[in-house]
Amino acid sequence: MSRYSEYRDKKEGEVMKVLDIIVTVLLVIGALNWGWVGLFGYNPIGALFGETAIWTRWIYGFVGLSGLYEAYNFTIGYNEMHHRWCETATSH
């Protein structure tokens, strides 16, 4: 494997790790929001941005896409995700 190929693979893995972290944060925000809705009948995202505001819909959309991304990572893409996180941790 050439040095460029190794560099490209490393950079690609780093970008995907950042995406993994962003997706996890969005899922935690979504889970906390729905927890508040279920337990207290209060929607924090709706209260912050307005129930029908475009930003609220965007946030919900990104949370939904994050769920699809994680569903893929824990089924079909599990080996790639595992390699991305475990190989980098052992190579340092």
pLDDT band at 2 (very low <50, low <70, confident <90, very high): confident
* Terminal Cα-to-Cα distance of the chain (whole angstroms): 20
Write down the pLDDT at residue 90: 54
**Does the pLDDT at position 16 exceed 70?**
yes
Residue-wise pLDDT tens digits, 26-83: 999 999 999 999 999 999 999 999 988 999 999 999 999 999 999 998 888 888 887 7
pTM of the shown model:
0.76
Secondary structure, 3-state, 30-56: HHHHHHHHHHHCCCHHHHHHCCCCHHH
Biggest CA–CA distance in the chain, Å, is 57
